[in-house]
Each structure stands twice: as C-alpha cells, then as structure tokens.
Amino acid sequence: MIKFAELSFLYAFLFVPFFILLFWMMQKKKKMLLKKLGDKNLIMRLMENYSNPRVVWKFILLLFAFIFIIITLLRVQIGSKVEKATRKGADIIIALDVSNSMLAEDIQPNRLARSKQAISKLIEKLDNDRIGIIIFAGKAFVQLPLTNDYAAAKMFLETISTNDINEQGTALGAAISLAVESFDQTKNKETEKNNKAIIIITDGENHEDDAIEQTKIANEQGIKVNTIGMGLIDGAPIPLNSNNAQSGYKKDKEGNTIITKLDEAMLQKIAVTGNGAYVRASNSNSGLQTIFDEINKLNKKEYEAKSFSEYEDRFQYFAAIALILLLLELSIFYKKSKRLKNINLFGKK
C-alpha cells in the first residue's frame, strides 16, 4: 500500500514538459546560430573538444533529478503493517424514504433534511457496528452496503436527495425486502440471531406493497425492524421547487393543494410485527435515543476488519537517487579534458 503524504507538490510535475520544450527550443536555436557563423566543418574543427551529446546527457540527468526531488517532496509512504482486528458489533441498515412527500416542512427544515440529521447523529454514536443505507420511493436501491467506515457513510448520506429516484411512491415492502437481502447471508443463522436491525425512516404514506408480510419474513430471520415516523399528524403541503426556489405547492387534478400526512398506524404495525420500536419524530425530538437504545440491545457479532495501520516514510531513497543524479551531472563537462581527449564515451560533434 503506497500513499503520498504531501500531495500539494503534484503540480510540480507540470514543469517537466515545460523544461523539455525549453531545452528543445534552445538546441534548435543554437543550431541556427552555428549555421549563420560560417562553414560548418571549420566551426566543428574549432569546437573539436565540444560534445553535444554531453549537453543532452546533462539535461537528462538534471530532468530526472528534478523528478526524484518532486517525489521526495511528496513524501512517499508504504504501509508496512496490515492490522487484522477482530471486532464485535451489530449490523444496521437504515431505509430512508426519498419520495417528494419528504420535502414537507411540518418537521423543520423539512422531513428529509431532519432525517439525514438524525442518521448523522446516529452514526456518531455507533462503535464497531456496521451500517448500510437504502433509499426508497416507488422503488428501493442500496445507497451504501454494510460498512464500518463511518466517514464514508456520512459522505454518502450527504448526497441523498429526492432526485435520486424518479418513480414516486412509498414502497416500504420493497425497502424491507432489499434490506434483508443486504445482510450477510450465512448457513448458521442461529448464531447470528438478534444482531441485525432495520431502521425505517419515512412518513409512511401511500405504501404500495405488503410491508407487513416483508416484516414477518425479516422477523423470522431474527432481524428487528424499527420505524421512525417523520411528519406530523396534521400533515403539510408538498413544496414545488424551480431553479432552487420554491414555486408553490403540489396540487391534485382538481387544483387542490395536496396535504401529506403521517401514516402512523402502518408504521406502528410494522414495528410491532418486526419486534422493534416505533417513534414519531417532532421538531424537538427525532426519536434517535429510543432507536439507539434498541440497537444497544442487539447481540454483537464478531467480524474481521483489515486495515493498513502503519505507514513508513520511503522518500529518503528518492532523495538519494536525486543526489546521485546531480553528482553525475556535475561530473560531466561540456568539453573534454586534454587527458581524456582520446576517450569518446559520448561521441563528439
């Protein structure tokens, strides 16, 4: 495993083609000047100790020395030790509703934004647990497979929006089914019971499939299903946005403003069937602590996580190569010495 500790010096490589072009132009200009001076054979006799290949070799050595100096400044590091850490934790998959109704603003700033805030805080509380994210509307998709990389989880979370799925609806059953499939499937399921959980965050409205049946299947496999109702009972209109500005509210065919309301009864039934907990979010409480308490009740499964734990600097070798190249360049003269006149390593021009 190789990495560079100081990536800011990468821009210096842009000078390499510039130096090559500059050298080529200087050589070309020198040839043109020699032609203007007079007879070529006479000039070459006057410059019999001068060797043009030496000039080229000196440039090549300087160029490669410059390249190795850049690599030295980048601070090349090599992962010298692979740490195999056996960790114990639960597996949690969050199924997040991204349908347009999640833009309703009865929960501030809106249902989706508040959901993402709650998930982010949940991630911060996790310790060795693995987390995955599924997004759903009319369909369900895996946004992030199970991982213990919490920084990656937060990064993927930030990118989620209602534009991720074009097909509208609230396919709760599809989300639960996909979550079950996303857990590690092992032959000995008895040893892994009660260490997996699904957390569904949705307004629950307009469910299109048999979410209860899918919850029963999850429960049979020892997977707890928790639900967070994101929205208020009275509901709120669905904002319409145009050019990043609100342009009104969604209306039905008769021109009436559509009010999206929390389907609390459905979410409560899913939680009961899934042997989990149901919490209704509000502007003062996202229900995070209740769900986190449920997660802490889960059994902790052992799994192995591999990571490069130590990196050692190796830039010294490149610095040594650069120094050797510079010393070689200094040892080569543009003209042959009288003592070495008969030695023709580079040829003469």
pLDDT tens-digit profile of 34-44? 677 666 666 66
The Cα-based distances of 307 to 88, 144, 271 in angstroms read 16, 19, 37
* Average pLDDT in the chain: 83
- Span 104-138, pLDDT tens digits: 998 989 999 999 998 999 899 888 899 999 999 98
For 200, left (φ over 0), alpha (ψ -120 to 50), or beta?
beta
Q: What are phi and psi of 211, to 5 degrees?
A: -65, -35
pLDDT band for position 1 (50/70/90)?
low
pLDDT band for position 349 (50/70/90)?
very low
Contact 144, 156 (CB under 8 A): yes
- Per-residue burial over 261-275, b if 16 or more Cβ lie within 10 Å, else e, is bbbbebbebbbebbb
pLDDT band for position 76 (50/70/90)?
confident
All domains of the chain, ordered by start, with CATH? 2-80+310-331 (no CATH), 91-299 (3.40.50.410)
- Span 184-240, pLDDT tens digits: 765 445 555 678 999 999 987 756 678 999 999 999 999 999 999 998 888 889 888
Q: What are phi and psi of 100, to 5 degrees?
A: -60, -25
In terms of Cα–Cα distance, which of 293, 303, 302 is closest to 125?
Answer: 293
Angle, CA 46 vertex, CA 42 and CA 50 arms, to 5°: 120
The encoded tokens of residue 175 equal: 């989300």
Q: What are phi and psi of 81, to 5 degrees?
A: -145, 125
Provide the residue type at 234 as one letter: D
The Cα-based distances of 341 to 47, 48, 211, 332, 336 in angstroms read 13, 10, 92, 13, 6
Give the per-residue pLDDT at 334. Answer: 63
In terms of Cα–Cα distance, which of 262, 170, 174 is closest to 215?
Answer: 174
pLDDT greater than 60 at residue 249: yes
pLDDT band for position 348 (50/70/90)?
very low
pLDDT band for position 21 (50/70/90)?
very high
SS3 content of the chain, % helix, strand, coil (to 5): 45, 25, 30
- Span 268-278, pLDDT tens digits: 999 999 999 99
CA distance 345 to 349: 12
Contacts of 321 (CB under 8 A, 6+ apart): 68
For residue 160, give the DSSP letter.
Answer: -
CA distance 213 to 11: 58
Give the per-residue pLDDT at 41. Answer: 63
Task: Report the pLDDT averaged over residues 296-302.
Answer: 81
CA distance 156 to 144: 7
CA distance 221 to 74: 51
Give the 3-state secondary structure of residue 113: helix
Give, for 120, the enclosing helix (H) or strand (E).
helix 111-125
Give the per-residue pLDDT at 119. Answer: 92
CA distance 278 to 280: 7
The Cα-based distances of 110 to 97, 136, 228, 283, 349 in angstroms read 13, 17, 15, 10, 79
Residue bearing the bigger pLDDT, 169 or 228: 228
Q: What are phi and psi of 323, to 5 degrees?
A: -65, -45
Q: What are phi and psi of 138, to 5 degrees?
A: -75, -20
CA distance 197 to 90: 8
Give the per-residue pLDDT at 188. Answer: 47
